[in-house]
């Protein structure tokens, strides 16, 4: 697999754009994005597990029920959630896409991110649709910007890979936890590929993948009402359609995971107020499930996250978070090490502390990418979770008055 | 019930003290506390659910197995956890109490709070035991100070109540989440009463109570390795021993809950870096269990806590935390209001936002005790959870280098 440019436009037959239409007050911020495929594409989605769901999620679910879609429209600045007319507005966004592109509204995926509980007007979206559609092209960066909220950098990635002897491309844009007028954290990821794969296998690949990718990312433990990951596969690479498990399916899954895990890192690193990317790698667990539970418990611990902000080798907080994770394990077998570009340091072995140099620990933890390595010494289960440190700026961003 | 002075010494036959013995470097900080009863007392304890347990917990479990104890010894500055010789040291602390008071080591409850993974020497404890025991008296405040870590105020409370026609007293000291050399958050509560109650009924009362008291407090969602709540009931009030469920048992439970819920408020309000006490009161739930799940989910949400710090009426974050709580509920029936000394404001009804004055909201949320009232509109289940806002100081306290 080779990294390439182009984001969601890297795959053949995909165009994108992003404009400022007026939902956000700041005119320098794009707030409406569109991704279209030249042809109808197999579509797969996963959504937030929150019982409170944004209206766009309800509409998208209906539109991809048949396994196909051809466009993705997404606004930032307003989550269109907890509004009485939410579904009507989300349907209206799809109808506007149909009016300007000819793609049937029923083939449009719709998403929103931003403030919840504030009515979303269709007016700015209607006004922005013309320049949005006219500007469709190799503009993955504009599309990536149009879905940002408090994200500080746009997030896109693309790779080439070979499937059934054909060169395929897969790319994505994403946004992490952030807010507009401080409100709701949302994670949105849109993936495009020209690989040919059936809707069933695409959904299967995505559903399996998120367990080891986006479900393993935590910035603050809050699950948004609007989270959505959507993959469109338009088949223009000309490979034999992946319609069953097997070698090609595994190749596709690998390519998908390369894209999703890259985005996980980007999203965690750009977490609200974050100064460090934290990767918690658990090995030696009784099962994969145990490994996931432990990795997520550690990456979510506020005490651990604050310690990492302070470059403090406070391994007791790691042990503590392992202990309350609810996972089935033997405390007396746990080993913990911290690792970064500056080196690796074992701090706990057999559940007890080992003497270490505080100076070396500080050097290792002062880097901006920190691995926490946990060996449960009890099997072959492995998992990785991504997160970030807890900083003054997280509190500042989330404590400010809405304005 | 009437509030009285005296803390853990309010009940007849209890003496207490706290001294600086040298575990903590700061000589102005007491770090060793002792509570003794003139006679053997029925004893009940609950402990942390964390798989990683402090050595003192293992020793205390053994010592109260027979349902009785006569003294509680507790140090701050070192949690005596994840140390190879931890059990030996904890047993040593009990033996020192026996040596100086004559109370058998097997009747001593032992607890520790502070840094984990650092060896605890018996030397300062042995040296401090003499002045500690000589100074035993009406010194509940010294005992309360001796168990503090980053707590900013000592926490004690006492009440009188009537049981079987006799006047009884119940009092307690407690400490909340805090750290010594930033490390481990621990909650410790020691309750003393002169009511006569059997060990079985005392344990039953405590186990039932914590579900609606200490298990409903969250400062940062991290469950410590050393949490312990212990009640000693020495029977000196002379009431007929409460040995079975019934009216007297209910009276005792009510008195116990008055003490524990008061301490919950004190502990939450003094949460690390906190500027506000948050009380989340859920009503209209399908069951008590549902109400508890919802109340805890909201009180734990970092986004919600940061909004309260900023006096931001961001009810979307309340809905969001209700939605991901995992509780069985109907989103379209949820109502939310904020309440404080400055007034009450409905912000959400039937799962959707209602127009409100931002100015009034700001006034209400600028107080230092905020109630979040959630009506699930779906039954009679009720629960209250206590927490605090997420502030710059939380990050500062927990992000500093250990020194």
Q: Residues A198, A52: one domain?
A: yes
Nearest-CA distance A202 → chain B (Å): 27
What is residue B252's predicted lDDT score, i.e. its pLDDT? Answer: 98
Q: Residues B216, B101: one domain?
A: yes
For all residues of chain B together, what is the average pLDDT? 91
C-alpha to C-alpha distance for B189 and B202, rounded to whole angstroms: 15
pLDDT band for A233, please (50, 70, 90 cuts): very high
pLDDT at A181 exceeding the cut of 70 = no
pLDDT at B206 exceeding the cut of 80 = yes
Inter-chain CB proximity A221 and B400 less than 8 Å: no
The total of structural domains in chain A comes to: 2
Q: Residues B250, B114: one domain?
A: yes
Give contacts of B314 with chain A, Cβ < 8 Å.
182-183, 402
Q: Residues B189, B210: one domain?
A: yes
Between B193 and B402, the more confident residue is B193
Question: How would you label B352-383 residue by residue, b for 16+ Cβ within 10 Å and e otherwise?
Answer: bbeebeeeebeebbebeebbbbbbbbbeebbb
pLDDT at B174 exceeding the cut of 80 = yes
How would you classify the pairing of strands B166-175 and B277-285? unpaired
Region A188-193: mean pLDDT is: 96
Nearest-CA distance B316 → chain A (Å): 6
Per the CB < 8 A criterion, the answer to whether A192 and A280 are in contact is no
* Dihedral angle of Cα B390, B392, B397, B401, to the nearest 10 degrees: 130
Give the chain A residue whose CA is nearest to the CA of B310.
A399
pLDDT digits (tens, 9 = 90+) for A237-257: 999 999 999 999 999 999 999
Q: Residues A178, A299: one domain?
A: no
Q: Residues B87, B17: one domain?
A: yes
pLDDT at A179 exceeding the cut of 60 = no
pLDDT at A74 exceeding the cut of 90 = yes
What is residue A220's predicted lDDT score, i.e. its pLDDT? Answer: 63
| 371-400 of B, contacting A, C-beta below 8 A | 389-392, 394-400
What is residue A180's predicted lDDT score, i.e. its pLDDT? Answer: 29
Q: Residues A169, A187: one domain?
A: yes
CATH label of the domain that carries residue B197:
3.60.70.12
Give the chain A residue whose CA is nearest to the CA of B397.
A306
* Dihedral angle of Cα A56, A60, A63, A66, to the nearest 10 degrees: -160
What is residue B223's predicted lDDT score, i.e. its pLDDT? Answer: 66
| 244-283 of B, contacting A, C-beta below 8 A | none
What is residue B400's predicted lDDT score, i.e. its pLDDT? Answer: 60
A301 touching B, CB under 8 A? yes
Q: Which of A149, A399, A402 to mutate to test the interface with B (most CBs of B within 10 A)?
A: A399
Query: How many Cβ atoms sit within 10 Å of the Cβ of residue A106?
Result: 17
Region B82-86: mean pLDDT is: 87
Region B65-85: mean pLDDT is: 93
Inter-chain CB proximity B306 and A391 less than 8 Å: no
Give contacts of B317 with chain A, Cβ < 8 Å.
183-184, 222
Q: In what order do the strands lie in the sheet with B352-353?
A: B352-353, B343-349, B335-340, B369-375, B277-285, B381-388
Inter-chain CB proximity A398 and B301 less than 8 Å: no
What is residue B396's predicted lDDT score, i.e. its pLDDT? Answer: 78
SS3 track for B344-370: EEEEEECCEECCCCHHHHHHHHCCCEE
What is residue B219's predicted lDDT score, i.e. its pLDDT? Answer: 67
Between B306 and B232, the more confident residue is B232
Region B93-122: mean pLDDT is: 94
Q: Residues A188, A321: one domain?
A: no
Picking from B269, B286, B321, the residue at the C-terminal end of a domain is B269
pLDDT digits (tens, 9 = 90+) for B358-385: 999 999 999 999 999 999 999 999 999 9
What is residue B194's predicted lDDT score, i.e. its pLDDT? Answer: 98
Q: Which of A271, A306, A333, A346 to mutate to test the interface with B (most CBs of B within 10 A)?
A: A306
What is residue B181's predicted lDDT score, i.e. its pLDDT? Answer: 31
Give contacts of B51 with chain A, Cβ < 8 Å.
322-324, 329, 331
Q: In sequence order, which residues have a C-beta less than 8 Å from that of residue A139 and are 6 or more positions away?
A: A9, A15, A16, A17, A18
What is residue B218's predicted lDDT score, i.e. its pLDDT? Answer: 77
| 162-221 of B, contacting A, C-beta below 8 A | 182-185, 220-221
pLDDT band for B184, please (50, 70, 90 cuts): very low
What is residue A20's predicted lDDT score, i.e. its pLDDT? Answer: 98
pLDDT digits (tens, 9 = 90+) for A1-52: 999 999 999 999 999 999 999 999 999 999 999 999 999 999 999 988 777 8
Q: Which of A38-52, B36-50, B166-180 has the lowest mean pLDDT?
A: B166-180
Q: DSSP labels for B71-104?
A: EEEEEEEE---S-TTHHHHHHHHHHHHHHHH---
pLDDT digits (tens, 9 = 90+) for B309-325: 989 888 888 998 898 88
In the set A48, A81, A186, A251, the catalytic residue is A186
What ipTM did this prediction achieve?
0.70
Picking from A252, A269, A286, the residue at the C-terminal end of a domain is A269
CATH label of the domain that carries residue A292:
3.10.20.340
Inter-chain CB proximity B312 and A400 less than 8 Å: yes
Q: Which of A320, A322, A366, A400 to mutate to test the interface with B (most CBs of B within 10 A)?
A: A320
What is residue A112's predicted lDDT score, i.e. its pLDDT? Answer: 94
pLDDT digits (tens, 9 = 90+) for B287-310: 999 999 999 999 988 888 888 998
C-alpha to C-alpha distance for B387 and A15, rounded to whole angstroms: 48
A116 touching B, CB under 8 A? yes
Inter-chain CB proximity B398 and A307 less than 8 Å: yes
What is residue B300's predicted lDDT score, i.e. its pLDDT? Answer: 86
pLDDT at A320 exceeding the cut of 50 = yes
Region A259-275: mean pLDDT is: 88
Q: Residues A290, A252: one domain?
A: no
**CA separation (Å) from A8 to A34, A91, A136, A193, B212?**
11, 24, 12, 8, 51
pLDDT at A403 exceeding the cut of 70 = no
pLDDT at A92 exceeding the cut of 60 = yes
C-alpha to C-alpha distance for A325 and A304, rounded to whole angstroms: 14
Inter-chain CB proximity A319 and B49 less than 8 Å: no
pLDDT at B10 exceeding the cut of 80 = yes
pLDDT at A291 exceeding the cut of 90 = yes
Percentage of chain A exceeding pLDDT 90:
72
Q: In sequence order, which residues have a C-beta less than 8 Å from that of residue B120 and are 6 or more positions away?
A: B23, B75, B78, B80, B83, B86, B89, B112
Q: Residues B40, B162: one domain?
A: yes
Instruction: Give the CA radius of gyration of chain B.
Output: 22
Domain range for residue B52?
2-269
Residue from the list B53, B222, B303 with its beta carbon closest to the beta carbon of A185: B303
Q: DSSP labels for A294-355?
A: HHHHHHH-HHHHHHHHTT---HHHHHHHHHTS-----GGG-EEEEEETTEEEEEEETTEE--
What is residue B162's predicted lDDT score, i.e. its pLDDT? Answer: 97
Per the CB < 8 A criterion, the answer to whether B114 and B79 are in contact is yes
pLDDT band for A400, please (50, 70, 90 cuts): low
What is residue B222's predicted lDDT score, i.e. its pLDDT? Answer: 65
C-alpha to C-alpha distance for A325 and B21, rounded to whole angstroms: 35
Inter-chain CB proximity A319 and B52 less than 8 Å: yes
pLDDT at B332 exceeding the cut of 80 = yes
pLDDT band for B180, please (50, 70, 90 cuts): very low
Q: Residues A252, A292: one domain?
A: no
pLDDT digits (tens, 9 = 90+) for B239-265: 999 999 999 999 999 999 999 999 999
pLDDT band for A401, please (50, 70, 90 cuts): very low
Give contacts of B331 with chain A, Cβ < 8 Å.
51-52
Region B142-168: mean pLDDT is: 94
Residue from the list B311, B353, B394 with its beta carbon closest to the beta carbon of A82: B353
Residue from the list B81, B302, B394 with its beta carbon closest to the beta carbon of A222: B302
Inter-chain CB proximity B348 and A117 less than 8 Å: yes
Q: Residues B259, B285: one domain?
A: no
Give contacts of A184 with chain B, Cβ < 8 Å.
316-317, 320
Q: Which of A51-60, A117-126, B388-397 has the lowest mean pLDDT?
A: B388-397
Picking from A214, A245, A269, the residue at the C-terminal end of a domain is A269
Main-chain phi, psi angles of A242, to 5 degrees: -75, 105
């Amino acid at each position: 697999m080779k990294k390439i440019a182009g984001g969601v436009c890297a795959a053949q037959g995909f165009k994108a754009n992003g404009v400022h239409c007026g939902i956000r007050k700041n005119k320098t911020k794009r707030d409406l994005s569109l991704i279209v495929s030249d042809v109808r594409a197999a579509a797969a989605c996963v959504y937030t597990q929150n019982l409170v769901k944004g209206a766009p999620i309800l509409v998208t679910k209906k539109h991809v029920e048949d396994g196909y879609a051809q466009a993705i429209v997404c606004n930032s600045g307003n989550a269109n959630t907890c509004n009485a007319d939410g579904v009507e507005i989300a349907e209206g966004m799809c109808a506007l896409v149909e009016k300007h592109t000819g793609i049937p509204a029923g083939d449009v995926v719709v998403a929103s991110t931003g403030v919840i509980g504030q009515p979303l007007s269709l007016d700015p979206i209607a006004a922005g649709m013309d320049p949005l559609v006219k500007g469709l092209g190799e503009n993955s960066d504009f599309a990536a910007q149009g879905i940002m909220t408090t994200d500080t950098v746009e997030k896109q990635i693309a790779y080439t890979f070979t499937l059934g002897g054909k060169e395929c491309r897969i790319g994505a844009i994403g946004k992490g936890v952030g807010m507009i007028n401080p409100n709701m954290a949302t994670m949105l990821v849109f993936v495009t590929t020209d690989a040919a794969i059936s809707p069933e296998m695409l959904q299967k690949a995505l559903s399996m993948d998120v367990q080891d990718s986006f479900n393993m990312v935590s910035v603050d433990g809050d699950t948004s009402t609007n989270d959505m990951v959507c993959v469109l596969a338009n088949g223009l690479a000309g490979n034999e359609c992946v319609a069953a498990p097997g070698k090609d399916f595994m190749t596709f899954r690998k390519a998908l995971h390369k894209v999703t895990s890259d985005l996980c890192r980007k999203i965690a690193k750009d977490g609200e107020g974050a100064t460090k990317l934290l990767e918690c790698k658990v090995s030696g667990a009784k099962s994969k499930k145990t490994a996931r539970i432990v990795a997520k418990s550690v990456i979510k611990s506020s005490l651990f996250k604050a310690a990492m902000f302070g470059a403090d080798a406070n391994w007791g907080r790691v042990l503590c978070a392992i202990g309350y994770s609810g996972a089935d394990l033997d405390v007396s077998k746990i080993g913990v090490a911290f690792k970064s570009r500056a080196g690796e340091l074992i701090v706990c072995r057999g559940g007890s502390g080992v003497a270490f140099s505080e100076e070396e620990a500080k050097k290792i933890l002062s880097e901006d990418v920190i691995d926490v390595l946990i060996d449960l010494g009890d099997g072959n289960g492995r998992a990785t979770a991504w997160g970030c440190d807890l900083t003054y700026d997280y509190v500042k961003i989330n404590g400010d008055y809405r304005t």
